[in-house]
Amino acid sequence: MDPHRVILGEADLEGHNTDWLGMVRGASKVLLKPRNTEEVSTILKYCNDRRLAVCPQGGNTGLVGGSVPVFDEIIISTSLMTEIESVDRLSGVITCQSGCVLEALDQYAAEYGLMVPLDLGAKGSCHIGGNVSTNAGGLRVLRYGSLHGSVLGVEAVLASGEIVNCLSAMKKDNTGYDLKHLFIGSEGTLGIITKIAINCPPRPQAVNLSFLGLQTFDDVLTTFREAKDKLGEILSSCEFIDSSSMQCVEENLKLKPPIEPHPFYMLIETSGSNSSHDEEKLSSFLDYALGSGIVTDGTVATEPSRMQHIWSLRERIAEALVKDGYTYKYDISLPHSEFYKMVEDMRNHLGTGVIRCCGYGHIGDGNLHLNITTQEFDKNVLNQIEPAVYEWTAKVNGSVSAEHGLGFKKRNFMHYSKSLGAINLMKQLKSLMDPNGILNPYKVLPET
Ligand code: FAD
Ligand code: S2G
Ligand code: ZN
């Protein structure tokens, strides 16, 4: 038995039994690291025949407790499944194993003038298989859409060990039910994704990143609308950060924004193929935004290290919040009209009983990250937040999980965003595809 691929004993599994936030902890004693589809198939058949529960694990950066065992489920890690099978420069399709780390896959794509149509703060650790399993969103959904659109093919292994080959590199294939979509976003509960084929757009030649300071959230929405109108096809990301989030990054990570303090900040990125054309569009947009007063300060970066610093102010907020102590995390989709009211209402509701109540996120796709922190977990604070936050979201027809999935922590709140009929159909699919319930039990679907 290869000690590097079969790891036994809880002590050696610490990092695999605990989630990235350090909030969910399992007690697995067995970690398996298969290299390929056939090994995954053999493992699952063995476990299924003996009713042994498993927890599929990619980079373990998930934020809803889906990537770690609840009890002693066997952890099946994709960390050794990092082969890139093919790159088609003309079509832009890359086919690879599911354990490719997102950042490494994107660097590989760059050698062919392509880019992976997904970017998130966890890119250095998350696996493309984990991204597909959570239907991860991230910083560029505004430009490249959801993985349901950019993933063309999936190969997965069912609980029985059966290999389902939906690995097409074709952009059009209307032959029967599009089964790959069952695995995209199913968080390891319907099958283990072993390979994916993803459509990678041309890597932009010219990237500009503007960092803006604004006085009101209405100005944020107006600026977003103007950016869409005036930047059009070159707009590739639109993120916002409130002052409370920025204070957390300054206090806990000692990072400094490049402009004076403001109530709100925005990151507006353009990506195109002609820098002078793009810079002209961007400067006329910024002239308008500053001239009209919807933006009261700003800077533009084109140099990679400066862009990286500005992105770190946004991408490292999660890390900064963890340093406060305990984070109550809500990843919700809301209509833009209600967007920041959620933060203001929650802040008033909680008063001074918390360290901070902040809002930031992907304004471009209506995805708010509402985060509240206390020194330690406080049941009273949780009861003040839940279920109020979910009821608030449901009232405005939002989603109680925009991009992180439901995992273990949010599975009992699905009914705030899905009909009972839809939930029942999901349960029927689960019992059809995993009749013994060995795949990532206690995740996604509600307890009752
Ligand atoms: P894991 O955490 O290992 O697993 C996630 C889920 O997928 C689990 O349920 C697991 O069982 C299942 N799974 C993993 N691999 C497979 C597989 N091969 N087959 C079947 N099931 C599998 N998420 C966003 O959507 N947008 C963001 O902007 C974003 N930013 C983040 C920033 C930070 C700093 C951090 C820490 C996380 C962030 N996340 C974000 C959350 C997380 O990175 C994503 O959910 C990511 O897609 C998880 O990938 P992973 O490989 O780490 O999967
Ligand atoms: C992001 C990361 C996790 C969070 O930064 O976009 O998805 O909620 C988030 O802080
Ligand atoms: Zn996010």
Burial 244-258 (b: 16+ CB within 10 A, else e): bbbebbeebeebebe
Distance in angstroms (rounded) separating the CA atoms of residues 224 and 365: 11
* Residue 305 confidence (pLDDT) above 90: yes
Phi first, then psi: what are they for 68, rounded to 5°? Answer: -125, 155
Residue 12 pLDDT level (bands cut at 50, 70, 90): confident
Q: How confident is the model at residue 296 (pLDDT cuts 50, 70, 90)?
A: very high
Digit-coded pLDDT (tens) for 227-259? 999 999 999 999 999 999 999 999 999 999 999
DSSP code, position 351: T
Distance CA 304, CA 300 (A): 12
User: In angstroms, rounded to a whole number, what is the distance separating the alpha carbons of residues 259 and 267?
Assistant: 12
Residue 216 C-alpha from the chain's centroid: 27
User: What is the tens place of the pLDDT at every residue in 251-280?
Assistant: 999 999 999 999 999 999 999 999 999 999
Contact 301, 307 (CB under 8 A): yes
Q: What is the distance in A from the centroid of ligand 1 to the CA of 101?
A: 11
**What is the average per-residue pLDDT within 187-212?**
98
26 lines ligand 1 (CB under 6 A): no
Q: What DSSP element (H or E) covers 55?
A: strand 54-57
**Cα 267 to ligand 3 centroid, rounded to whole Å:** 14
Residues in Cβ contact with 10 at an 8 Å cutoff, skipping those fewer than 6 apart: 17, 27, 28, 29
Q: What is the pLDDT of residue 3?
A: 80
Exposed / middle / buried, residue 360 (Cβ in 10 Å: 0-12, 13-18, 19+): buried
Per-residue pLDDT for 384 more than 90? yes
Domains 206-317 and 324-404 are alike in CATH topology: yes
* pLDDT tens-place string over residues 56-92: 999 999 999 999 999 999 999 999 999 999 999 999 9
Pocket of ligand 2 (CB under 6 A): 63, 121, 317-318, 329, 331, 361, 369, 371
Interval between CA 47 and ligand 1 midpoint (Å): 24
**0.80 exceeded by pTM:** yes
How much is the pLDDT for 69? Answer: 98
- Dig out the tokens for 254 from the structure: 């000692």
- For the domain 84-199, what is the CATH code? 3.30.465.10
| Residue 149 backbone dihedrals phi, psi, to 5 degrees | -95, -40
pLDDT value at residue 448: 82
Asked if the model's pLDDT at residue 1 lies above 70, the reply is no
Q: Which of 61, 96, 135, 371 to mutate to test the pocket of ligand 1 (most atoms within 8 A of CB)?
A: 61
**Side chain identity at 136, as an amino acid letter?**
A
Residue whose tokens read 């303090």 = 261
Distance CA 168, CA 151 (A): 9
Q: For the residues 280-285, what does the mean pLDDT come to? A: 95
Size of the chain in residues: 448
pLDDT at 23: 93
CATH number of the domain at 324-404, out of 3.30.70.2740, 3.40.50.300, 3.10.290.10, 3.40.50.2300?
3.30.70.2740
What pLDDT band is residue 9 in, cutting at 50, 70 and 90? confident
The CATH architecture to which 206-317 belongs is 2-Layer Sandwich (3.30)
How do the domains of the chain map onto residue ranges?
Answer: 84-199, 206-317, 324-404
Q: What is the DSSP letter of 4?
A: T
DSSP string, 99-145: T-BHHHHHHHHHTTTB--S---TTTTT-BHHHHHHTT---TTHHHH-
Q: Residue 307: name the closest of 200, 208, 199 by CA.
A: 208
Give mean pLDDT, residues 147-176.
97
